């Protein structure tokens, strides 16, 4: 069934729903008919847009060849909620395209986007190695005014520090190590001080005794070396 036939069928469905709505007396039946009417109206609008787009292509064959090359989407923003990681792609006039022109594929660890025939070219983006796994079946796209929004469903409701494992590795690499210039004996001294401060009198006497004996051994060792 081509678009023209689909549109005719939807128009007939809409007309019959309107007729039934006029005859319906019970409120619940009226509400159900109205809901169905809205669904059909939405589908009809989409099909009409598709037909208009198809007509433009047929009227200007060069539009097909212009869309024969692909550009990479390099600019995006991301945010998150408890359940979703959200990717925002700014693409002017994307909302004017038929929905099927925006193809999105999700896997557990990646997603890819292909926007076909927007402004005479295709736009593509692929993000691999997501920081945490997503549920591909519950992930989806939303087409908004001049924007594609990708809703990546988290498998776990933990907060993401970065979008990908590569971003995380880069971030950690740039962090200065806390132990790069540390004195090896400093950690031991701090630990002993903490035990001493938190210990009872017996513990403090034991540590003082061990410290005194250690210092005496050190002094004797230095004396032997001087000798």
Q: Look up residue 89 and give its two tokens.
A: 């792609």
For the chain, list residues with pLDDT below 70.
1, 56-68, 174-192, 194, 196, 199, 217-218, 220-227
For 69, residues 6+ apart whose C-beta sits below 8 A from its C-beta are: 121, 122
Say what the pTM is: 0.50
Q: What is the pLDDT of residue 196?
A: 67
Q: Report long-range pairs for 61-69 (Cβ below 8 Å, ≥24 apart).
A: 63/117, 63/120, 64/117, 66/120, 66/121, 67/116, 67/117, 67/120, 67/121, 67/122, 69/121, 69/122
Burial level of 148, CB count in 10 A (0-12/13-18/19+)? buried
Q: In this structure, what token pair is assigned to residue 152? A: 């990546």
What pLDDT score does 126 carry?
Answer: 93
pLDDT of 13-32, one tens digit each? 888 888 888 888 888 888 88
């Amino acid at each position: 069934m081509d678009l023209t036939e689909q549109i005719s069928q939807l128009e007939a469905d809409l007309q019959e729903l309107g007729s039934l709505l006029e005859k319906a007396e019970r409120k619940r039946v009226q509400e159900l008919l109205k809901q169905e009417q809205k669904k059909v109206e939405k589908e009809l609008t989409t099909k009409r847009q598709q037909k208009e787009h198809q007509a433009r292509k047929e009227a200007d064959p060069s539009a097909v060849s212009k869309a024969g090359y692909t550009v990479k989407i390099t600019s995006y923003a991301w945010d998150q909620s408890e359940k979703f990681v959200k990717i925002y792609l700014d693409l002017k006039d994307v909302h004017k395209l038929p929905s099927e022109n925006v193809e999105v594929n999700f896997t557990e660890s990646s997603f890819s986007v292909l926007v076909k025939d927007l402004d005479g070219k295709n736009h593509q983006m692929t993000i691999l190695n997501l920081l945490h796994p997503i549920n591909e079946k519950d992930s989806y796209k939303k087409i908004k005014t001049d924007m594609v929004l990708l809703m990546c469903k988290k498998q776990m409701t933990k907060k993401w520090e970065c979008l990908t494992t590569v971003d995380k590795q880069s971030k950690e690499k740039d962090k200065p190590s806390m132990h790069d210039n540390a004195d090896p004996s400093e950690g031991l001294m701090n630990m002993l001080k903490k035990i001493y401060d938190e210990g009872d009198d017996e513990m403090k006497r034991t540590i003082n005794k061990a410290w005194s004996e250690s210092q005496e051994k050190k002094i004797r060792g230095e004396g032997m070396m001087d000798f």
